[in-house]
């Protein structure tokens, strides 16, 4: 059972918000073994008061990203200089590398939204050299989805090699999102390579990511049958929706008639 000691509590008080200092002070008054139960009651009270503030923060790549003034200036200049490699490199070293973390993250997110592949790759390299950088699956997910949307296979392979070197593993839902992005981008071969990685993941399989993938595989019947067999083996008894065989024929005829 956990027993608070003066040394432990004094260390905790140095990183604890002021509203909790009184509670910590009271804990310091009851550190003997006979007050162990009281210690635990106080600890429960502090956790209850602290609430969400004591829980781990969300990944910076999942937070809402609003570009500040410095970020806007940097983004505008990066777009202006992207056709001049020498001046672009000089600007990245002198200005972009000095951006605050929030500004750098928001500029990268905005370039991903705009499908600025070249500039995204430049900032990708900058981010990974920052002292605050930590491998993060959401950072890599956003990069891969953007590259898949723009059919950038070589860049996607490079990013995938980097995340493997950093031992980043996606959860099942993130795998499903990335595979679907490659399928929607018309890159079924690359999507299936990632699917094989998903099948080797230590995380237990979930049905929803498989459904997302199966829906994206409708234009690729042969590949879909393979994933469907895996799905039925993992989740026996669950019904899989199969699109009518003439679905794409009807779509083709409709598009032809509209063009006429």
Mean of pLDDT values over 35-46: 46
The one-character DSSP state at 151 is T
What residues make up the domain containing 36? Answer: 6-54
Cα torsion 57, 62, 65, 71: sign: positive
- Closest to 198 (Cα-Cα) out of 186, 182, 220: 182
Residue 77 has pLDDT above 70, yes or no: yes
d(CA 70, CA 237): 56
In a domain, 86, yes or no: no
In a domain, 250, yes or no: yes
Residue 76 has pLDDT above 60, yes or no: yes
The pTM (predicted TM-score) of the whole model is 0.71
* CATH number assigned to the domain comprising residue 230: 1.25.40.10
In a domain, 84, yes or no: no
User: What is the domain count for the chain?
Assistant: 2
Mean of pLDDT values over 77-88: 95
What are 205-237's pLDDT values in tens digits?
A: 999 999 999 999 999 999 999 999 999 999 988
pLDDT value, residue 28: 45
In a domain, 189, yes or no: yes
In a domain, 183, yes or no: yes
Task: Please tell me which residue, 251 or 11, carries the higher pLDDT value.
Answer: 251
Kindly report the average pLDDT of the chain as a whole number. Answer: 79
In a domain, 99, yes or no: no
Q: How many CB atoms lie within 10 A of CB 215?
A: 13
Cβ–Cβ under 8 Å, residues 139 and 108: no
In a domain, 235, yes or no: yes
What are 129-170's pLDDT values in tens digits?
A: 999 999 999 999 999 999 999 999 999 999 999 999 999 999
In a domain, 146, yes or no: no
d(CA 149, CA 155): 12
């Amino acid at each position: 059972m956990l027993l608070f000691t003066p040394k432990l509590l004094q260390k905790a008080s140095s990183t604890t918000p002021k509203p909790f200092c009184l509670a910590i002070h009271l804990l310091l008054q009851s550190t003997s073994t006979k007050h162990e139960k009281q210690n635990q009651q106080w600890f429960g009270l502090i956790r209850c008061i602290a609430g969400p503030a004591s829980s781990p923060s969300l990944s910076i790549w999942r937070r809402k990203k609003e570009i500040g003034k410095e970020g806007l200036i940097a983004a505008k200049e990066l777009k202006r200089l992207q056709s001049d490699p020498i001046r672009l490199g000089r600007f990245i070293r002198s200005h972009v590398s000095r951006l605050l973390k929030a500004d750098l993250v928001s500029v990268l997110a905005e370039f991903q939204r705009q499908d600025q592949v070249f500039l995204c790759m430049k900032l990708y390299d900058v981010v990974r050299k920052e002292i605050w950088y930590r491998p993060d699956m959401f950072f890599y997910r956003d990069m891969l989805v953007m590259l898949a949307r723009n059919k950038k296979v070589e860049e996607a392979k490079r990013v995938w090699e980097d995340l493997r070197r950093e031992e980043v593993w996606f959860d099942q839902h993130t795998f499903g999102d990335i595979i679907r992005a490659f399928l929607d981008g018309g890159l079924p071969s690359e999507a299936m390579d990632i699917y094989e990685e998903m099948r080797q993941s230590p995380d237990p399989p979930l049905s929803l990511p498989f459904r997302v993938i199966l829906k994206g595989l409708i234009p690729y019947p042969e590949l879909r049958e393979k994933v469907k067999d895996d799905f039925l083996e993992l989740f026996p008894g669950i019904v899989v929706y199969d699109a009518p065989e003439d679905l794409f024929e009807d779509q083709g005829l409709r598009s032809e008639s509209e063009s006429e």
